[in-house]
Chain A
Amino acid sequence: MSTPTIPEQGEQKTSDAPSPRQPDGRPEQQAPPSGLAVLARSPKVLAVLVAVLVVVVSAAVGGSGVWPQGWTIDIRTPLNDLDGWLVDNREKSPIFLYFLLHISNSAESSVDAIISLFDAMGWIGVTVVGTLVGWAAGGSDLSRRALRTGGTTLGVFIACGVLNMWAPTMETLALMTVAVFAAAVLGLLLGLGAGLSDRFEKILRPVFDTMQVMPAFAYLLPLLLMFGVGVPSALIATVIYAAPPMARLTSLGLRSADPAALEASASLGASHWQRLWTARLPLARKQMMLGLNQAIMMCLSMVVLASLIGSEGLGDEIYQALGSLDVGTALTAGVAVVLIAVLLDRTTAAAGERLDATVTVGATRLMARIRMAVWGLVLALIGVFSAVGSSIGEREWPDVWTVDVTRPLQSAVDWLTETIGSGIPVLGGTVVWAKGFTVYVLNPLRSGLETTPWWALALLVGVIGWIVGTWRAALTGVICLGLIGMMGLWEKSMDTFSQVIGGLVLTMVIGIVLGILTARVERVERMLRPVLDTMQTMPQFVYLIPVIALVGLSRSAGIIAAVIYACPAVIRITAQGLRYVDPAAMEASRSLGATSRQQLLGVQLPLARKSLLVGVNQGVVLVLSMVVIAGLIGGGALGYDVVQGLSKGDLSQGLPAGIAIVCLGIMLDRITQPAGERPRD
């Protein structure tokens, strides 16, 4: 019968303060034990140290580290020629006549057709049919899910009407319908190909990887030149943007299907087609539904952004309103966008849930019939309403039933920006803070990056890429840097780079702190969730202008916008990573009497390292895409070049900047992406 002896209270006090972190690095697992292990990991640490040293020394000694003039190539001339050719041949060249213009025309006419269908049905018809579709997606019964989905749909339609956003909402919905359909079909086909053929997958993968890091902003310009300003360009940009997740998830679903089920199907003598139809596709259904959901969300965000190149609807409403600094109207339209996002998300989620739900006992045959009947009813109603809709009600939501919230919103935003901007006693306000941030963080960072010789930077990128990922990642990163230099955009890219780093640091600090709080305090999570949802779906344009009131027309404005944009994702990933830490390890630590702090620092954070890295990676991509849009509000550098190219239709200025952004994105993605990891799948 032994009793506890050693760790008595008295002794404890004399012992050191708890040091929850291990001093030695966190190396790869394969390392053999003892001294060898230390050796095996030290070269990497050493390499980083050397690279950093080289960078610092060379920056201090060299003075200016710009890419040598002689190594740049002139890409402006060929691009100008291409620009000229495009202008001259837009109506003559066979590639336009027989291919591109078909796409453009059918895009335009299908959107027009849907808009006129909505018009013909009138607002009553659209609302009724929409609600019915929502209800049907939820299961068309009296279950809570079906009623909730239908109710959400009804509520969103009414809210959009009341907010006096009916017409633009319908335009956006029409664009969405076409875009989602096209993106889903394209994604499905590509996904099927990639899921079934290894070679196809091998070709597609790098394309998709690039698409993921490519800010949509970067490819608006080529589309603009090919299709001109208008709906087709916007639609095509949207489809290009939204198809990859669908394809990715379809392929993933096909590839990750339970091998036992496939084996069973094969053992029953199924032919390949039978296997595809009866086993592989049904097993991939859930992933495909997820892909569809993602595609829809991306479509929505892009349909708004594409107002820059002539898309109609809510995005245009926002863009126009900002022209006269009418933040109230922009915000109202933004709210409508958020509402549509809620509607589409809930509907697809409900439909997806239904795939999972086990079939309720009995009455399934009846239910199936009822469902068929409901869909039939939907079709019939569309027909009926489009025939008589305009006679039973107005085409648009009646004006009498609208509430003007733009003024109160405007004054609320004005008050808020003024108070936070400079009205905080003692602490000053964001204007002062932003100045400090620019002077003490951004400026030194930028001049540091600009004085660092290009080869030292390439070395650093290579080393980091090699350590975090693979030598291939390192090589890709260095090549990207090289391309940037060769295009003669070194200085501007470094400017953008410094903004990305600044934004990333802020994003990570805020994101991780809030992520930890979210994961650990349930109240915070409940409060934060709707805020995050709104932040993720609210079009970025809406807060671009108020941000200027907060910090002035400066790089900080862009960075703040980027932080607002990127934080939700980082918060989510952090919280999820922390929450899904092996529960056994957590319980073990609790059972040993660890305090919350000890649990967090000793178990949760180290075990969630992978997802934290994923968070960094995601943060990089999002911050970059927003820092580029910040070209609109004083971000300068590459973003401004793209904006300039877009608004002047100048290929030779916009395209190289766009490519440089993509290069920067790929480089940052590779050096923050742990080896063997494919996040975001």
Chain B
Amino acid sequence: MSETHESAPATPVFSVRNLWKVFGPKAHRVPGDKELAGLSAAELTKRTGCTAAVRDVSFDVRKGEVFVVMGLSGSGKSTLVRCLTRLIEPTAGVLEMDGEDVRAMDKHRLRELRRHRTAMVFQNFGLLPHRTVTDNVAYGLEIQGMSKQERRAKGTEMVEKVGLEGLGDRRPVQLSGGQQQRVGLARALAVDPEVLLFDEPFSALDPLIRRDMQEEVIRLHREEGRTMIFITHDLSEALRLGDRILLMRDGEIVQLGTPEEIVANPADDYVRDFVRDVPREQVISVRRAMRPAEKADGDNGAELSPDTLVSDAIEAVARSGENLRVVDDGRTIGVIDHACLLNVVAGIDGDDDGEGDPGKDKEVAAV
């Protein structure tokens, strides 16, 4: 996936600035009030009876990327994603899709957006038990007002696309959990949306099936390059799928960055705790692990691209038995040796870097 996010920075698909969602009585006064906005979650509830599910969040989602929003339950991630299509009405902030102000849309325009430009896959599937699989898949098309024949055809096509050939006449209850979520996925794909929204789609599934489904999403993304916003509480899922990850806690952004940045450069102790058990060599690339080239290293030896994962570099280093050069565009930008690699595995490098420029990630998050 990392290939796709290299595209030129065009208008972001979603642009979110200072978004707030506050639940409770007179929620509107909270974002505007400097004093209230500064309170911690517990204090805010105590003072006003309100809960801020999303607090002052800003980010962009680029075209074609898989944007993962991650956090524990209660961190506000599901609320955030629902705010994007106003399934939950945001309290304050700016929200644009393709440069168009979503919060200013009237009912019809918003419906158009939901019908054609976004589609969502839900944790609990949200299938209609009284319809067949095909009819469930075609449900979005039916809502759009497509003729029966057309939508049936499209529905059947989508059913096949997600690997449910021959099950189109069944009813959802007759399918396994994984199959049901494939129906949910097909339903979302059927309307050919610009953006796919996933709300913890696989957390109700068994680990093996979850893996299958993740592969499916990766495959779809590779084939179609559709923009995806993916909500999860599972770090490994986030790291597997995400081009960029937005980490949330108590409604606020903790860190926003590529998986590598987050693992190598945790913004604070919370994130560090979070990524502690991640096999770092499988996330961090040699670009981050290398040391500057010295004269002694010379110009010979095997080459590696800077995006090579450390785990792969270990293999190469072990095989060749000598240091490797990291080459970008024919220019040697660094050298990788045993020590560098061990540092990554041992988790020593990240600490140094993390303390070195803590402001960097914050900046990213604030973009």
Contact = CB atoms under 8 A, between A and B. Distances in A.
Please tell me whether chains A and B touch each other in their complex, using a CB distance cut-off of 8 A: yes
Interface in A588-617: 588-595, 598, 602-603, 606-607, 609
Given A29-B173, A588-B126, A593 B111 contact: yes
B127 interface: yes
B139 A589 contact: yes
Contact of B128 (A7, A16, A585, A587): A585
Given A20-B142, A593-B113, 5 more contacts: A4-B116, A7-B192, A592-B143, A593-B110, A602-B142
A581 B203 CA distance: 22
Contacts of B145: 12, 15-18
B150 A591 contact: no
B140 A592 contact: yes
B148 A594 contact: no
B85 interface: yes
B87 A590 contact: yes
**5 pairs of A and B residues whose beta carbons are closest in the complex:** A588-B126, A593-B114, A593-B115, A584-B126, A584-B124
B365 interface: no
Contacts of B147: 15-16
Nearest to A599: B143
Interface of A: 1-7, 12, 15-20, 22, 26, 29, 33-34, 37, 582, 584-595, 598, 602-603, 606-607, 609
Nearest to B110: A593
B220 to A, nearest CB: 11
Interface in B111-132: 111-120, 122-131
B224 to A, nearest CB: 5
B63 interface: yes
A18 B142 contact: yes
Contacts of A17: 145
A16 B148 contact: yes
B174 interface: yes
A587 B120 CA distance: 9
A235 to B, nearest CB: 48
A582 B125 CA distance: 10
Contacts of B112: 593
B146 interface: yes
Nearest to B225: A1
Nearest to B146: A15
Nearest to A586: B126
Contacts of B131: 22
A155 B144 CA distance: 55
A584 B130 contact: no
Contact of B123 (A12, A584, A602): A584
Contacts of A4: 116-117, 192-194
B135 interface: yes
Interface in B22-64: 63-64
A18 B138 CA distance: 12
A607 B119 CA distance: 22
A19 B143 CA distance: 9
B360 interface: no
Contacts of A588: 120, 122, 125-127, 184, 187
B143 A18 contact: yes
B176 interface: no
Given A4-B192, A593-B111, A12 B119 contact: no
B300 interface: no
Interface stretch (B163-171, B266-274, B289-297, B311-319): B163-171
Contacts of A584: 122-126
B141 A7 contact: yes
Contacts of A593: 110-116, 140, 143-144
A306 B170 CA distance: 55
B75 to A, nearest CB: 19
Contacts of B141: 7
A592 B191 CA distance: 9
A585 B127 contact: yes
Nearest to B169: A33
Interface in B89-120: 110-120
Given A18-B143, A588-B122, A609 B114 contact: no
